[in-house]
């Protein structure tokens, strides 16, 4: 069964991050530059202290009346971060993301940040796995048809 390790093997383990004192404007520029929907928030000691996503912006900034240019990421970031390990199965990731209604999961191994996966990464991996199964089954059906018809 495919695991998160295979996703990281394909996409790499580069993690886009900002500091907690970055402004929302700065974080959004980083997100746009890298075409991502979320950034991890890493403090000066290298510790993951939160995650900031487009969803945080959409839901929290409007409610609290913050100004994008001056509000710090730490004021609205999500601090309750769920994480997974590299050996977590892809279906387990999909279930967790669906159940908790989250789109990004940091990957940790022995407390060390290994990468960040998105719901898009998980869906892509699931589709790839399904395509492999379909291809394998089509080959088996072809072989059975040849056997039944007596073809070589």
Phi-psi group of 46: left, alpha or beta (phi > 0 → left; psi -120 to 50 → alpha; rest → beta):
left
* Domains of the chain listed by start with CATH number: 4-149 (3.10.580.10)
DSSP assignment, residue 73? H
Distance separating alpha carbons of residues 68 and 107, to the nearest angstrom: 29
Give yes or no for residue 147 having a pLDDT over 80: no
Look at residues 108, 93, 82, 94 and name the one whose alpha carbon lies nearest to residue 15: 108
* Helical spans, DSSP H, in 66-118: 73-76, 90-100
Distance separating alpha carbons of residues 135 and 152, to the nearest angstrom: 20
**Above pLDDT 90, what percent of the chain?**
63
Q: How confident is the model at residue 138 (pLDDT cuts 50, 70, 90)?
A: confident
């Amino acid at each position: 069964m495919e695991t998160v390790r295979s996703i990281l093997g394909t996409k790499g383990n580069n993690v886009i991050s900002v500091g907690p004192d970055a402004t929302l404007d700065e974080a959004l520029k980083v997100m746009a530059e890298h075409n991502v929907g979320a950034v991890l928030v890493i403090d000066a000691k290298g510790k993951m202290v939160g995650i900031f996503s487009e969803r945080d912006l959409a839901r929290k900034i409007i409610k609290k009346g913050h100004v994008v240019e001056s509000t710090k990421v730490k004021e609205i970031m999500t601090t309750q971060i769920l994480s997974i390990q590299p050996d977590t199965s892809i279906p387990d990731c999909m279930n967790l993301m669906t159940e908790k209604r989250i789109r990004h999961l940091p990957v940790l191994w022995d407390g060390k940040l290994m990468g960040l996966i998105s719901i898009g990464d998980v869906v892509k991996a699931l589709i790839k796995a399904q395509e492999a199964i379909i291809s394998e089954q089509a080959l088996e059906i072809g072989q059975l048809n040849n056997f039944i018809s007596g073809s070589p």
